[in-house]
Each structure stands twice: as structure tokens, then as C-alpha cells.
Structure 1
Amino acid sequence: MLTTGLVLGAVVMGAGMQRITGMGFALVAAPFLVLLLGPVEGVVLVNVCGAVTAGAIIFRVVRDIDWKRYAALTASAVLGIVPAAFLIRLIPPAVLEISIGVILAVGLTVLLALKSATLPARRRYLFTAGGLSGFMNTAAGVGGPAVSMYSIATRWQHKSFAATMQPYFFTIGALSLVSKALTAPATFPSLPAAMWASVAGACLVGLVLGDVAARFVPARAAQILLIVLAYLGAAATIVRGVLDMVG
């Protein structure tokens, strides 16, 4: 019962944060779900809940979605997945995780130190952000910080960014689930039907709470939360890589 309660609590928190900041389900829920369910089944459950949560939010924010940026990000993310799939076979996962985490942390710090500098919202930067996101999502399971760095650098309006991230994460999550279903169906959690229903209910509760909170959380506060989550993602990636190397 304790494990069930912790799993559902993590799902509620992740779904709520996804609604408020536009990203964050994996960063908030993944550490708990992986710890409680194991590294394989936990990650798959994160993928399932993340895709479902993003898909549900789309209908609430559809008016604010920048579909051109979504298409560019998604196409470049798919291209970024290909080299990552080859690299993870050649380079130890721990080395990749530590390297990506350090690059993310340094990049975020440089962006924050140069607050007055604004990166032009050109397509090449958008494609770069999407490619890095797809690469990092495949190599280390953290695709969000790369696109959040782009949004900070280009001063992308948070409301539009948060909305556009929903179809983006839904598409990337769905593609990940399809690939895993075709290549490794045994990795899907064998949970009772009642548990799946409870997880779906937890996603709904988190979305409702996040929807209410989003009305009262100022755009500036949401952007600060976004930066904090990006740093947490970088830190978690480094720590995981170090633990894998030590272990």
C-alpha cells in the first residue's frame, strides 16, 4: 500500500508540474518511479504517463500552440535520436550521462549570466534545440532541458512555450513507447488493471490541480520553476551517471 501511494503521489506531482511549466513530468516523477518500480518498468511508466498527461493538456492549451515550432522541434528531435542510438552502443551510458548533465548545467549558467543577451529566434537554433532534445532524451532520458534552454535564450513567451511542449512531448513519448513495444515488449510494467486505473486517476488529479495552480502562478514564477527543473534534470543526470560508474 505504501509503494502504491508513493507511485500515485509521484504521478500527481509530475502531472501538476507538467501543466504549470510545460515540462517536468519525467524530472519530477521519474526518480521516484524508477526507485519504486525498477529502472526498466519505472522508465516505461514515466513514458506512458508523460505521453498521456501531455496529450490531455493539449486540449486545454491548443489555442496557444505554435504549430510551426512544434513541427520543427519534432522533426529535428527524431533526427537527433538516430546518432544517439548509435552512440549509446559505443560509449558507456555513465560517461554519456555525466557529459550531458555537465553540458546542460554549464549552458544554463551561461544563459542566466547573460540575461541581457537574446538569441534570435531563427530556425537553425530551433532545429539545434530539437536535435539536442531528441539526442539527450535517447541517451539519458532528459529531453526537456534542451528546449527550455532555447526558450530562455530566445525569450519565447512562456504561455506559448508551455502549450507547444505538450504535442511535442506527446509525440516523442508515443514514438518511444511504440519503439519499445516493438523491440522489447517485456519491459512494460505488469500492473493489475486496478493499478492502471489508479495511475490514470492520479494523472487526472494532477492535471486538475496543475490547471488551478496555473491560473494563479505568474509567468515569471513559472519560468523560474522551469529553470529550477532544468537544473534538477542536469544534476540528476550527473548523479545517475556517477552512481552507474561507481556501481
Structure 2
Amino acid sequence: MTLTLGLLVVLVTIVGSAAQRMAGLGFALLVSPIMTLLLGGHAGVLLVNILGVVSSALILPRVWRKVDWSMFRWLAAFAIIGAGLGAVLAGRLSPDVMGVAVGAIVLLALTLSMLFTSERFSTEPRSPRALAGFLSGLTNALAGVGGPAVSAYAVLTRWPQASFAATLQPYFVVTGLASAGAKLALDPAGLPATEWWFWLIVLGAILIGIGAGERLLRLVTPAQVRRVVIVLACAGAAATLVRGLVGLLS
């Protein structure tokens, strides 16, 4: 790893952790592209899954009281199913094909969630929770990004931002562990080979990013944070779609 690339990894990790603390998601959306560039598709996504677990686990104690545990149980249960299926598909199908499919599905979901803003949509029905969790687990295993699917659900149902951001932290811990565990079970040698100091540097970057996010939260409103959520979700889905198309066309 060159010094320039190493600094880029640290910078993106700090920004991703800050976004995760503020909006509830954003770590994987920002870190996944550079990690896949550095380590390749499968190893890069696996590392993003692992680091995403670390980031959310460190944030969780700060937001524990705002977690909606009923919502978490429904989302997580079906996300585990989606993660298992995604791990199998990731090993058998072209990453480019799956990237196009994942990006297109999530962009469609986000678009529909912003178009359909009727008051009849709420967080009470359980089947939409299950579908959001399943798609999130699937996309997390395939592309290292599980946030856009649940973001689409949150926008559609107007899930309060504070509860949404808090609930995503234990949710990402579970889905990240499920995705990484399924991949390692299928390919025990899939863990990326990195030096021990790499983990220390990235952990320090995560802690710095969380601290920065804590400070920035005092300066923004929930509505502004929700707009950041939508932008990050769209950006992550679009990047996944574009990477897949470039791979297919090259």
C-alpha cells in the first residue's frame, strides 16, 4: 500500500465514521469503493463488513436509549436471511451483474419512497419491515452496502430520524457479522491479508470520525441529517450500479 493510498483510506474512514454517527449510515457507502479498489471485490467487501461492525458497535452505546428494538428484531431477522442468500450469490454470480441489480433495485426503491409520501404509509405494518431487512441484508452481502434499502423504507414511512439512526447501529452489527460469517464459512481463506498496524490505524480513524460526528450533530437539524441520509443512499446505490456497468462493458 502506498502512502497516498493509505492516507486516502484513513481520510475516507474518518468521513465515513462521522457520517455514520450523524445519519445512522454512510460508513460502508463511503469506504466500500476505496476498499474494493485496494483489495479487490470479495476481500474489499468482506473488510468493509468487518469495519462496519466495529464502527456501529462503537456508536451503539451512545444511542442505546433511542433504539427501537421491535423494529430492530424484524429488520435483523430477515436481513440475516438476505445476507445468507447474498453470500451464496456473491460466490456464484458475476460481481458486475449483481452490482447492476443491487444498484438498480435500491435506486428504484429510493425513488418510489420519495414519490409516495401519503400519510397512510407508516412503520406499523410488518411485511414492509421484513422486505426492507431482506433487501438490506442481500445488498450488504453482495456489495457491502445495506443502508440504501432501509433508508428507502425510512423515507417512505417517515421513521423519525433519531430512532432510525440509533436502530441502524445494532442492525448493522448483526448484518455485518452475518455477511462476514457467511462469506468466511463459504471461503475460510477470504479474510484480506493486511498488516497488524493497518487495523490499529483504521480503528483510530473510526474513533476520530465518531468524535467529529458527535460535534457536528450539535450544528445540524434532523431534517438536514435526513437529507444527508437520502444523498448518501442514492450515491451508494448509484456507485454500485456504475461499477457494475463499467465492469460489464469493459
Moved more, 86-95 or 138-147: 86-95
Q: Structure 2: state its 5+ residue gaps.
A: none
**Cα 1:139–1:200, aligned 2, differ >3 Å: closer, same or farther?**
closer
Render the CA deviation track for 1:15-74: whole Å, top value 9, x for unaligned: 111111101111011112222333343223212211100001000000000111111101
Greater displacement, 156-165 / 72-81: 72-81
Shift of 1:3: 2.0
Q: Where in structure 2 are the equivalents of 1:106-125 lying within 5 Å?
A: 106-121=108-123, 122-125=125-128
CA distance in 1, matches of 2:51, 2:201: 12
The one-letter amino acid of 1:189's match is P
User: Does 2:183 correspond to 1:180?
Assistant: yes
Deviates more, 1:89-98 or 1:229-238: 89-98
Match of 1:143 among 130, 141, 146: 146
- Distance in 2, matches of 1:83 and 1:40, equals 15
* TM-score (normalised: structure 1): 0.91
1:105 paired to 2:95: no
- Most deviating of 78-87 and 172-181: 78-87
Matched position secondary structure for 1:216? coil
Of 189-198 and 25-34, the range deviating more from structure 2: 189-198
Residues 21 and 223, structure 1, Cα contact 8 Å, conserved in 2: yes
Task: Name the CA distance, whole Å, in 2 between partners of 1:89 and 1:34.
Answer: 16
Q: How far did 1:139 drift?
A: 3.2
Identify the residue that residue 163 of structure 2 maps to in structure 1. 160
Q: Which segment drifts farther, 59-68 or 4-13?
A: 4-13
Structure 1 pair 190/228, CA: closer, same or farther in 2 (3 Å)?
A: same
* Whole-angstrom distance in 1 between the partners of 2:96 and 2:39: 21
Q: Hey, what's the Cα distance between the residues in 2 that align with 1:73 and 1:20? A: 21
Give the match's secondary structure for 1:142. coil
CA separation in 1, counterparts of 2:195 and 2:67? Answer: 36
Of residues 195, 199, 203, the one that matches 2:202 is: 199
Aligned residue type for 2:40: G
Partner of residue 27 from structure 1, selected from 6, 26, 29: 29
Q: Secondary structure at the match of 2:231?
A: helix
What is the CA deviation profile of residues 185-234 of structure 1, one whole-angstrom value per residue up to 9, with x for unaligned ones? 43323322222211111111011101111222210011001100111122
Distance 1:183 1:211 in 2: 38
SS across alignment from 2:194: coil
Q: Aligned partner of 1:217: which letter?
A: V
2:234 aligned residue (231, 235, 239): 231
Q: Quick one: which amino acid aligns to residue 135 of structure 1?
A: L
* CA spacing shift, 1:137–1:112, aligned 2, 3 Å: same
Distance in 2, matches of 1:110 and 1:165, equals 21
Matched, 1:214 2:217: yes
C-alpha distance 29-93 of structure 1, shift in aligned 2 (>3 A): closer
Question: 2: CA distance between counterparts of 1:76 and 1:2?
Answer: 40
Cα distance, 1:86 vs structure 2: 5.1
The counterpart of 2:50, out of the listed 48, 51, 58, is 48
Structure 1 residues 220 and 3: CA distance shift in structure 2, 3 A: same
- Taking a change above 3 Å as real, the CA distance of residues 110 and 177 of structure 1, as seen in their structure-2 partners, is closer
TM-score (norm 2): 0.90
Q: Any unmatched runs of 5+ in structure 1?
A: none
